Copies of this chain bind each other. A is one copy, B any other.
Amino acid sequence: MLDATASGVYVIAATPFHDDGRLDDASADRMVDFYRGCGVTGLTILGMMGEAPKLDTEEAIGFSRRVIRRCGNLPAIVGVSAPGFAAMRALARSVMDAGAAGVMIAPPASVRTDDQIVGYFAQAVEAIGTDVPFVLQDYPQASGVMMAPSTIRRIVEAHASCAMLKHEDWPGLEKLTAVRLLMAEGAMRRVSILTGNGGVFLDFEMERGADGAMTGYAFPDMLVDVVRLQKAGERDAAHDLFDAHLPLMRYEQQPGPGLAVRKHILKLRGAIQSDAQRKPAIPLSPLARAEVSYLLARLAERDARAKGLGLHPETAGRGLGAEPCQTAVGGSVRE
């Protein structure tokens, strides 16, 4: 069960489909194994980038069960944000029964004032039950809901089952510091903070007090290394590795085409069999595909050069031949 000491990388998992749009069970299994090989601490499924709204209820529950089972000892968090509490409760109870470690909830755009936000989470907790650990997702760009640090504090203090803040306000570095300060001052119980937003500020977020990342960048092994290096105090090495990936991370973070990029790379890395998305989907144009190839080639070349220069491999840009992740092989990215 998820608790407030969680740290590391909880990768936002893709939802694999066959080319014809059916859920791809075999790829779901393979993807879990791939993520495990990348060294992630846990998985988060049915997130915003997991095409959750494109599944009907039965599919959502079936997919969750399969992934949770394959995860084994890896904790799995399930996104249960829903237009209403009945559906939220139904999904939350189903996945917890199936062995999920917790659920994730983002507020709907209709709540606006501090009190409305706090009230919404009170109703959500009442709906799912106080025994279900939950992640408070703070993602204003997607939800339209702006939570002040003092509002986050009120929610955390009101609900012992709030185990984690998924921090993806943008910009968010000062907010992260403000929330951690409330905890340091004793004004707020300590909870885990993992950061999202495609990871594009993970380098400094770790220095501001994040416990890790919860995002779906197609090189979760890099996220794992950055988190580990920062925790080990190897700041420059962390930034070197991070910076090497930033051009691609930025490209993958684009709302819309970003998911196509992510699935495309996951397919190249052998994690899933097809990069198909359900509609509405923005496919990868031929130009975009070529741009991704160029970025991948630069990443691979950088990896090679760093080794030639005798630099520490971890600082050289985790390329496509990363060892810890057996399913990723350098050769497989030549399209």
Of residues 98 to 144 in A, which have CB atoms within 8 Å of B's CB atoms?
Answer: 109, 112-116, 119-120, 123, 126-127
Shortest beta-carbon distance from A243 to chain B in Å = 5
Look across to chain B and name the residue whose beta carbon is closest to the beta carbon of A171.
Answer: B254
The 7 sampled A-B contact pairs (Cβ below 8 Å) are A53-B87, A85-B278, A112-B112, A113-B151, A173-B291, A239-B294, A243-B243
Look across to chain B and name the residue whose beta carbon is closest to the beta carbon of A141.
Answer: B141
Query: Do the beta carbons of B250 and A56 come within 8 Å of each other?
Result: no
Q: Which of B170, B174, B256 contacts A285 (CB 8 A)?
A: B174
Chain B residues lying within 8 Å of A257, measured Cβ to Cβ, are: 171, 173-174
Query: Do the beta carbons of B146 and A90 come within 8 Å of each other?
Result: no
User: Taking the complex as formed, is A177 at the interface, i.e. its CB lies under 8 A from any CB of chain B?
Assistant: yes
Look across to chain B and name the residue whose beta carbon is closest to the beta carbon of A279.
Answer: B123
Give chain A's interface secondary structure class: helix
Query: Do the beta carbons of B250 and A86 come within 8 Å of each other?
Result: no
Interface residues of A (CB under 8 A from B): 51-59, 82-87, 89-90, 109, 112-116, 119-120, 123, 126-127, 146-148, 150-151, 170-171, 173-174, 177, 200-201, 203-204, 207-208, 239, 242-243, 246-247, 250, 254-258, 278-280, 285, 287-288, 291, 294, 298
Q: Given A85-B54, A287-B173, A200 and B148 touching (CB < 8 A)?
A: no
Look across to chain B and name the residue whose beta carbon is closest to the beta carbon of A51.
Answer: B84
Chain B residues lying within 8 Å of A177, measured Cβ to Cβ, are: 285, 287
Look across to chain B and name the residue whose beta carbon is closest to the beta carbon of A255.
Answer: B171
Chain B residues lying within 8 Å of A279, measured Cβ to Cβ, are: 85, 123, 126-127
Q: Given A87-B57, A243-B246, A173 and B112 touching (CB < 8 A)?
A: no
Chain B residues lying within 8 Å of A148, measured Cβ to Cβ, are: 113-116
Shortest beta-carbon distance from A146 to chain B in Å = 4
**Minimum-distance CB pairs A-B, first 5:** A53-B83, A171-B254, A53-B84, A112-B146, A54-B84
